[in-house]
Amino acid sequence: MPDVRIVNRLDVDLDRERAELIAGLTASPAAIAPKYFYDRVGCALYRAICELPEYYPTRTEQAIFLRHRDAIADAIGRGGQFVDLGAGDCRKARSWLPLVAPSRYLAVDIAADAIAAALATMAPEFPEVEMVGIVTDFTRGLDLEGDLATDGAAVPATFFYPGSSIGNFGPAEALAFLAAIHRHCRAHVDSGLLIGVDTRKDPRRLAAAYDDAVGVTAAFNRNVLRHVNRLIGSDFRPEAFAHRGFWDEAAGRVEMHLEATTPQTVTLAGKARRFAAGERIHTENSYKYAPAEFASLLSGAGFRSHRCWQDDAGDFAVFHAR
Q: Which residues bind ligand AVI (CB under 6 A)?
A: 49, 57, 163-165, 167-168, 210, 217, 284, 286
- Output 191 or 310, the one with its CB closest to ligand AVI: 310
- Output 218 or 298, the one with its CB closest to ligand AVI: 218
Write down the least CB distance from residue 263 to ligand AVI, Å: 27
Write down the least CB distance from residue 284 to ligand AVI, Å: 6
What is the C-alpha to C-alpha distance for residues 269 and 265, in angstroms, rounded to an integer? 13
Write down the least CB distance from residue 194 to ligand AVI, Å: 16
Q: At what angle do helices 216-232 and 14-26 cross, to 10 degrees?
A: 120
Q: Which amino acid is at 153?
A: A
The candidate with the shortest Cα–Cα distance to 276, out of 240, 320, 305, 252, is 240
What is the C-alpha to C-alpha distance for residues 2 and 4, in angstroms, rounded to an integer? 7
Q: Which amino acid is at 268?
A: L
Residue whose C-beta lies closest to ligand AVI: 286
Write down the least CB distance from residue 164 to ligand AVI, Å: 5
- Output 2 or 252, the one with its CB closest to ligand AVI: 252
- Output 217 or 310, the one with its CB closest to ligand AVI: 217
- Output 102 or 163, the one with its CB closest to ligand AVI: 163
Do 257 and 285 touch, CB atoms closer than 8 A?
Answer: no
Do 161 and 194 touch, CB atoms closer than 8 A?
Answer: yes
Write down the least CB distance from residue 292 to ligand AVI, Å: 21
- Output 52 or 149, the one with its CB closest to ligand AVI: 52
The candidate with the shortest Cα–Cα distance to 41, out of 308, 222, 198, 195, is 222
Q: Is the preceding peptide bond at 29 cis, omega within 30 degrees of 0?
A: yes
Write down the least CB distance from residue 210 to ligand AVI, Å: 5
